[in-house]
């Protein structure tokens, strides 16, 4: 076992951890801080890690920093919900508003590879119309990128992650076969399938970023079911084990345990980043700075970087940095069945219906949602029962002990952009002396109407399979997006279609915070697709001398 990755940087002295080998190392190029690297990237998750790879392969000098540790999953990850909280971003954040968000688990990560190290691997494309909701559907805001272009980048990411999925996807424009064959359905997924069949709607095997066949040094998924606490066998195709090894091979440097506190600017341009590593503040010079800290840390860094030139924070002439936070809806319906389901086996969401992402009639609200089968681990399930049904005492214990017969369906639902849902800075500071974020969030009428429709529908689906003692879990949220939206107009967006800030031409933002809308699908595939596009666009612009 190596030194504790949580307390000592691992990527140093010309090498980085080999994520495929206990105690192993791979050579890594390093850049002196006084060298002005082409790109310093803040964050190595779905946005930053992917972009680091693309830019390094395009020949740029790249330093990518992450506040979290550099894990080797094979030796560092336990099969344990509690211990694996080390993958979450658990620094203090204040939450308020009518629907205060519970942070720290399913919506944030603090590790090299970001939250993809513990994501549920569900890899979905947006419905094409969801890139133009304002024009086509009358709500939200249009993306400045067309769906056909995004479709090509989805192809690239799906190939890179060897997504296991169905041969024929039931919804949307024709797409190719997924690179790897779909995983078998577990019993929980079969309940989704039977319910959908009974209600007469389409369902399919969920396209999922865990291997269904060997790939290089990684083995296929063993269906251990601890996916959302990190994969200890490397079947999960996280950024940590996919894009980053490629990035390092192409010459990128990763700096772990490197918390960026401020982006420096001079004469209207970014000049580098101040970051905390090994107990001291340091400065890395760069020709370009990419902020990729996800929907909370990205606006926090931009706001914490306010200076005389940009007193309201960087890239914030529109006033939109931190605004339009969209936390996707994650409500559920649950029930009991005669079968032994044992939903702890396999990835939690092996079957899906996107019916209500593509069907607009019969709704009294805007937007779409999908729903998936579920497999909650004991602590998550206990919190669901205790929170959602107010069970405690022997009632809670007895219900927990029937868990092998529980089945559930959970939505991933679209939240509309609303400037009142936002990230600001609290007065408190954290262990680095940086002001911590305050996250203000509330469901509005549209979200409430969608939730009602979705939980009623999921409940009907369970009923159609014979599930009894059904109940509805009304309070959960998941992925976060928004807070630095992209657009065509500098007054109504923070970055343009290339993720380049309108105000500071060498400052870029590349993560889920650029989403103008979120659709009813998990965002990681789209974040990676946008990062791939951004990498290509930067290469093209550099070739034309437009950086």
CB of 107 to another protein, least distance (A): 9
Pairing between strand 507-509 and 280-291? parallel
Q: How far apart are the first and last CA of the chain?
A: 44
Strands (E), 278-325: 280-291
Per-position DSSP letters for 209-227, written without gaps between them: SB-SS-BTTBPPP---S-G
CB of 475 to another protein, least distance (A): 10
Strands (E), 214-311: 253-255, 259-266, 269-277, 280-291
The residues pairing with 334 across neighbouring beta strands, listed in sequence order, are: 408, 471
Using CB under 8 A as the criterion, which residues of the chain lie in contact with another protein when the complex forms? 75-83, 88-96, 100-105, 108, 184-187, 190, 221-226, 232-233, 339-342, 344-346, 378-379, 381-383, 386-387, 390, 392-394, 396-398, 400-404, 438-439
Nearer to another protein, 88 or 178 (CB): 88
| CB 234 within 8 Å of CB 473 | no
Nearer to another protein, 437 or 535 (CB): 437
| CB 539 within 8 Å of CB 546 | no
Q: Which among 404, 411, 405 has a CA at the least distance from the CA of 352?
A: 411
- Give the pair of three-digit tokens for residue 288: 């370009």
Q: Determine the Cα–Cα distance for residues 508 and 300; give it in Å rounded to an integer.
A: 15
| CB 46 within 8 Å of CB 268 | no
Nearer to another protein, 83 or 136 (CB): 83
CB of 347 to another protein, least distance (A): 10
Q: Determine the Cα–Cα distance for residues 506 and 538; give it in Å rounded to an integer.
A: 11
Nearer to another protein, 22 or 59 (CB): 22
Nearer to another protein, 108 or 517 (CB): 108
Q: How many CB atoms lie under 10 A from the CB of residue 46?
A: 32
Nearer to another protein, 415 or 528 (CB): 415
Nearer to another protein, 37 or 185 (CB): 185
The one-character DSSP state at 281 is E
* CB proximity list for 443: less than 8 A, separation 6 or greater: 98, 99, 329, 415, 451
CB of 75 to another protein, least distance (A): 7
Nearer to another protein, 445 or 469 (CB): 469
Please report where in the chains the tokens 């989704």 appear, as a residue: 192
3-state secondary structure of 333: strand
State the chain's maximal CA–CA distance in angstroms. Answer: 69
Phi, psi of 269 (to 5 degrees): -125, 150
- Give the pair of three-digit tokens for residue 511: 């993560």
CB of 385 to another protein, least distance (A): 8
Nearer to another protein, 95 or 137 (CB): 95
CB of 71 to another protein, least distance (A): 11
CB of 104 to another protein, least distance (A): 2
Nearer to another protein, 79 or 492 (CB): 79
CB of 233 to another protein, least distance (A): 5
- Give the pair of three-digit tokens for residue 179: 């690179």
Q: Determine the Cα–Cα distance for residues 57 and 252; give it in Å rounded to an integer.
A: 9
CB of 78 to another protein, least distance (A): 4
CB of 283 to another protein, least distance (A): 28
């Amino acid at each position: 076992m190596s030194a504790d990755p949580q307390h000592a940087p691992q990527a140093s002295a010309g090498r980085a951890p080999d994520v495929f080998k206990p105690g192993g190392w791979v050579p890594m190029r390093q850049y002196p801080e006084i060298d002005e690297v082409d790109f310093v990237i803040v964050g190595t998750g779905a946005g930053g890690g992917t972009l680091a790879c693309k830019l390094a392969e395009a020949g740029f000098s790249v330093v990518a920093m992450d506040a979290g540790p550099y894990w080797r999953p094979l030796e560092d990850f336990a099969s344990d919900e509690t211990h694996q909280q080390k993958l979450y971003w658990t620094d203090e954040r204040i939450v308020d508003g009518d629907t205060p968000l519970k942070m720290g688990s399913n919506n944030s990560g603090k590790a090299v590879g970001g939250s993809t190290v513990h994501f549920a691997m569900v890899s979905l494309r947006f419905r094409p119309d969801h890139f133009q909701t304002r024009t086509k559907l009358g709500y939200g805001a249009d993306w400045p990128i067309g769906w056909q272009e995004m479709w090509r980048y989805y192809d690239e990411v799906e190939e890179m992650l060897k997504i296991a999925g169905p041969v024929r996807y039931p919804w949307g424009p024709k797409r190719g076969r997924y690179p790897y064959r779909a995983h078998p359905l577990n019993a929980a997924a079969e309940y989704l399938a039977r319910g959908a069949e009974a209600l007469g709607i389409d369902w399919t095997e969920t396209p999922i970023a865990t291997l269904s066949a060997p790939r290089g040094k990684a083995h296929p998924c063993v269906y251990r079911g601890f996916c959302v606490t990190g994969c200890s066998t490397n079947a999960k195709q996280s950024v940590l084990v996919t894009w980053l090894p490629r990035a390092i091979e192409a010459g990128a440097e990763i700096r772990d345990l490197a918390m960026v506190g401020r982006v420096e600017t001079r004469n209207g341009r970014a000049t580098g980043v101040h970051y905390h590593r090994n107990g001291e503040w340091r400065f890395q010079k760069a020709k370009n700075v990419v902020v990729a800290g996800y929907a909370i840390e990205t606006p926090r860094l931009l706001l914490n970087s306010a200076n005389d030139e940009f007193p309201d924070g960087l890239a914030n002439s529109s006033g939109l940095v931190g605004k339009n936070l969209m936390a996707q809806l994650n409500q559920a319906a649950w029930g009991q069945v005669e079968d032994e389901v044992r939903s702890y086996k396999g990835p939690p969401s092996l079957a899906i219906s996107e019916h209500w992402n593509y069907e607009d009639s019969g709704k009294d609200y805007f937007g779409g949602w999908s729903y998936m089968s579920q497999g909650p681990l004991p602590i998550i399930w206990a919190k669901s029962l205790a929170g959602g049904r107010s069970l405690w005492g022997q009632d809670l214990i007895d219900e927990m002990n029937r868990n092998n017969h529980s089945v559930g369906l959970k939505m991933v639902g679209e939240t509309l952009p609303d400037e009142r849902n936002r990230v600001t800075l609290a007065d408190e500071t954290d262990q680095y002396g940086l002001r911590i974020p305050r996250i203000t969030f509330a469901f509005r009428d549209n979200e409430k109407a969608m939730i009602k429709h979705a939980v009623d529908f999921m409940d009907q689906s369970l009923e159609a399979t014979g599930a009894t003692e059904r109940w509805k879990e009304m309070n959960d949220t998941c992925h976060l997006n928004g807070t630095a939206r992209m657009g065509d107009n500098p007054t109504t967006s923070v970055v343009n279609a290339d993720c380049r800030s309108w105000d500071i031409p060498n400052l870029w933002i590349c993560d889920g915070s650029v989403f103008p809308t979120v659709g009813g699908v998990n965002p990681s595939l789209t974040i990676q697709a946008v990062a791939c596009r951004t990498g290509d666009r930067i290469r093209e612009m550099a070739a034309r001398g437009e950086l």
